[in-house]
Amino acid sequence: MHTVITAARLCTPEKWIEHPVVVVEDGCITDLQSRGAAAPQPGRLLEFPDLILAPGLIDIHIHGGASHDVMEPSDSALAQIERQLIKHGVTGYLPTTVTAPDDRTLQAVERLGKAIERVEKDYGRAQPLGIHLEGPFISHEKRGVHPPENLVRPSPEAFDRLWQASRGTIRMLTIAPELPGALETIRYARKLGVHCSVGHSNATYEETASAIAAGADHATHTFNAMRALDHRDPGILGAVLERDELTADIIVDGIHVHPAIVELFLRAKGPDRAILITDAISATGMPDGVYKLGSLEVRVQDNRCEYDGKLAGSVLTLDRAIRNVMSFSGLKLDQAAKLATLNPAKLLGMQQERGFLAPGARADMVVLTPDGQVMHTIIGGQIVEA
């Protein structure tokens, strides 16, 4: 039976549709028109007369939430993280690892790979779309809180071990371009369809340009854990802001990056190449205290996550990031939503099914107030209760 969903407005997010009528069958959108043009449709009706429909949000960099970390050796940890994500409108995400001992990383990506295959048809919670490997191929100088003893020199062979363990489910690799073996590793990963993201790096502009030529196509939490910008030595950050070949993500929590720098970032990358992420850890949605990031114990107080005096992820949620970027930069709701829907979907090559509302796409949606507050999350045409 069809499900028919109506609302005051719909953000595709590239255009607005007034008084939309969305018809859903077997978890996908089969028709989308404005009420005036749409013929009456039989079926179950979901009505949101004063609210806005938008695509389900996609977070490509998240370590955990609800007191759980994605690297935990527990089948229930991901389920609890995913139930929290739907509270905030997230319907797809990349579980993100942190540098750890080799055996623990291999066990984690193997477990995540199996989970990604297992929940592919599960409409009851946010869906893991692939693994984001953050570390171990990052620089000592810009490692942040990643344990130095577990950093690894990149090589195609080292990456292939992780790829095989993950059952081919790694979708993104953060890598420092200046490391010996990085360019060969980028070329190998790209042949496998893995998106290579420059980050946690002290690279020069020239080294970053070489990584782009090798196939790097993204940048991880821009400004954080990167060589500082200098007018005579632009470094990795200069390349990230200047080169159109790279999309780039940013943590808009008001802690990692000043609001004025958020505006600079958006002007540099433009509306099609900027992506919002959370870098959220297990403390997200929890009270202040001490929480895990991989094997690290991170202290959280007043929305600030620190380990040994350094920032260690965030407690940001993606819906909050959308509202923050609207506040910091003056973007409209549709412009801000695009940074957490269509743009990450395009990066992952999923824009035909996710991140955009049109016939043929998955019926994954978030129901919003005009100021971006999440009221409901819909997965496969069904309202999901967290």
**What's the pLDDT tens digit per position in 320-346?**
999 999 999 999 999 999 999 999 999
Q: Is the dihedral of CA 11, 17, 21, 23 positive or negative?
A: negative
Same domain, 201 and 73: yes
Number of domain units in the chain? 2
Q: Which CATH number characterizes residue 27's domain?
A: 2.30.40.10
Any idea which residue has 């070489």 for tokens? Answer: 210
The residues assigned a catalytic role are 279
Q: Which domain holds residue 105?
A: 57-347
The count of residues in the chain is: 386
Distance, in Å, from the CA atom of 237 to the CA atom of 208, rounded to the nearest integer, reads: 9
Please name the residue ranges forming H helices in 40-101.
Answer: 75-87
User: Is the residue at 356 inside a domain?
Assistant: no
CA 171 to chain centre: 11
103 CB-near residues (< 8 Å, 6+ apart): none
Report strand pairing: 274-277 vs 247-251.
parallel
Same domain, 258 and 167: yes
User: Is the residue at 354 inside a domain?
Assistant: no
CA 301 to chain centre: 24
User: Is the residue at 355 inside a domain?
Assistant: no
Same domain, 158 and 191: yes
Same domain, 340 and 367: no
Task: List Cβ<8 Å contacts ≥24 apart for 106-112.
Answer: 106/161, 106/162, 106/165, 107/73, 108/70, 108/71, 108/73, 109/133, 109/162, 109/165, 109/166, 109/169, 109/170, 110/165, 110/166, 110/167, 111/73, 112/70, 112/78, 112/166, 112/169
User: Is the residue at 140 inside a domain?
Assistant: yes
Question: Which residues sit opposite 127 in a β-bridge?
Answer: 92
| pTM, two decimal places | 0.97
User: Is the residue at 61 inside a domain?
Assistant: yes
Same domain, 286 and 372: no
Q: Which CATH number characterizes residue 229's domain?
A: 3.20.20.140
Residue 359 three-state SS: coil
- pLDDT of 122 reads 54
Same domain, 235 and 317: yes
User: Is the residue at 332 inside a domain?
Assistant: yes
Same domain, 147 and 224: yes
- Could you say which residues of the chain have pLDDT below 50? none
Same domain, 152 and 167: yes
Same domain, 24 and 67: no
In the chain the first and final C-alpha atoms are separated, in Å, by 24
- pLDDT of 37 reads 59
Any idea which residue has 């690799």 for tokens? Answer: 173
Same domain, 21 and 116: no
Same domain, 50 and 140: no
Same domain, 198 and 104: yes
Q: Is the dihedral of CA 343, 348, 352, 356 positive or negative?
A: negative
User: Is the residue at 184 inside a domain?
Assistant: yes
Say if CB 97 and CB 137 are below 8 A apart: no
Q: What would the two tokens of residue 75 be?
A: 């089948």
Residue 31 three-state SS: strand
User: Is the residue at 369 inside a domain?
Assistant: yes
- pLDDT of 294 reads 87
